[in-house]
Structure 1
Amino acid sequence: MNNFVFHTPTKVIFGKNTESEVGSLVKEQGCRKVLVHYGGQSARKSGLLDRVFTSLQEAGIAYTSLGGVVPNPRLSLVYEGIELCRKEHVDFILAVGGGSVIDSAKAIGYGMANDFDVWDLYDRKNTAKACLPIGCVLTIAAAGSEMSDSSVITKEEGGIKRGYNSPLCRCRFAVMNPELTYTLPAYQTACGAVDIMMHTMERYFVPDDTLELTDGMAEALIRTVMHNALILKGEPQNYKARAEIMWAGSLAHNSLMNCGGPNGDWASHQLEHELGGMFDVAHGAGLAAVWGSWARYVFHDKPERFAQFASRIFDIECHGNARETALLGIEAMEEFYRSIDMPTTIRELGVALTEEQIEELAAKCAFGGRTIGAFKTLNQEDMAAIYRNARG
């Protein structure tokens, strides 16, 4: 096992009606003016924004607001947010939404606190020295951005989607009321479940030995999400199922599942980022579409790890043939994706990839000559092969 440092500075306020505590939480941070950052009109129509504004007013906190965040959050809105924050002398950013809103808020926070173009962080040309403090009111269980050190932004010019990681952007607090996810469309709920599972699986499928305890937590988390995702197909307002998945989303991506192992593989995420950048597909659906192709491409390097996964997640017996058991586990995971109406090929995303597009995706993923993956190191040729196999 590897040495590790586990530090989770985010204060979690979990449960019904917790959004009413936002004002006092911001006040604890000693901030004077807040940017309330959000997505479309659902937060306004549901009354959530009004409740947040009321809580801020009651605490004596001034605020301004900026909506318009979309899935695969755009760099242009980040720039708009930075300009607004400077104009309004904002010293705290409150994200009201899901991972896309929180990621956008983090990027604005970086842009406010550093004296260079914020895209330089995502383009690997600079390193953050600071970030404006961030808090969030979570409305979608998926990305785990409420407790993670990561932010992913899409640059419209060229359709480039990039992530940046730094502990500086971790939320000071995360307000998590499962009731706020009741009205999510079934497709979005399923996408969120896949994203949560993949954050765990990226850390699970690694070449090094890991802690048995961390493996057990990861396996329990995956099984919990699978069980409750199926419940929510028929009972979208089941509070317990919503709560289980919301808490799983945070634990999957707050570094707990890294403890004792390497930082993770992340190849599936990197491959999906390029799909999201070029075709604006939903992140969770894109992950489901490429995972099986990735898994079949790499499992030969350590089939015992995939066999363990098959046994502990799907109760598939291993009769001494790790490769056969591994393949059965991969097939079982794809069957689960189908059971919650998620794609298992890129064609099922509504994207008919040409050979030229496959080469472009691989070239973007390998920008700067980089390789991806830890379970198996993948170069540009490998990336193209996985896209090709996932095409469908």
Structure 2
Amino acid sequence: MKIQLDYLSYMENAGLPPRLTNELGELFGRHLSSVHGKTGASSNVVSMQTQQYRVQALTAGFRDLRKGGFAIESPWNITEKHLRYLVNLWVNEKKHSPGTVENRLTYWRTLATWMKKPQLVGTIDDYIDRSSDYRRFYGAQKDKSWEAADIDVEDVIARLCRRNRWVAMQLELQATFGLRAQESMQLRPLQCLRVAGYLHVINGTAGRRPRVIPIDAEWQYDVVVRAARLANPRTGSMIPDPWTLKKWYDHFYYILQSEGIKRGPGGLTVDGLRHAYLRMMSERVVGAAMPTKRPDHQPDPQLHEAAKERLMEVVGKGVAAKGRACISTFASMDQRSQPVSAEDAIAAIAAASGNKSEAAKSLKISRQALYRLLAKGNDRQAASQ
């Protein structure tokens, strides 16, 4: 059954002219719930949350363009100059993170696909010359665990127990099984022990994909038993009455923030517990430290790939890039310590007799990254003439 967001209620107060509102609304009506991806069309539908993000991001973008002096009256009026303006606005004025900007460009790329203009929207590098530190890394660049920050998890949980034992229990579940925050909140302990040796995680998962997590030690069972005793007797979840999920989510982070634990990137975050669990899983498979912990040591490549595949199963990630985001790769760590210049790219192409694929491989970068380096080199050469 196709479920689509009531996008009209979001557009009523967007402040856009009637024609733009109507034509954008027509596109939403036909395509809003459809999946957009590089692999082609799909019969699946995107979540209501993704639909909401699309509507909010696109209407906000059109509003920013009109505030910036562009008399946009139709979605089909969008050109490269408008996208360049938006990227510069997001990066230089609003100071959005690289990940946020890339997500917004994804929504605009989706809109362009709906309008049969798939080549209209480029990448961040097509619109600005960003510095090396303004980049989203798809492999973990450092150990984000609490241990690396010299934080005693048990001490934090003990302090939280005195304030709110449900928050403390959910934090302990995250540390024990690598759960996301919402997964620990919506976990139904009595329903999740279906098969001995595994915890079945069903509610709150990314993309609504259920998964199983191995239970390797007796103490992990003890955590599940204690969670079951604290679970809501009416719903079975870890959210106490009379809280709703949304209100409990905000309350959960309010309590954590008082302990110096943040929601977003930077500093001590809940994700640090997840990273510690993933590191433990990786080191168990590989028999050596993760790249973020020992970038100077490279274990057997097949074992490292096996660790990534195992982690993708356990944490519910669908593609290999997500595995790299969890435990990184030794190539990405090496690339971070030795940034590649345009001159390096030119020399590598010459050494590979003009074969750009081989040149990119020798530099341990993608072909797209190689092309961006060459373009920057050409821009600098043109500027100096």
Shorter-chain TM-score: what band?
Answer: under 0.3
Q: Look at both structures and tell me which one has the larger radius of gyration over its CA atoms.
A: 2
More strand by share: 1
Provide the TM-score with structure 2 as the length reference.
0.26
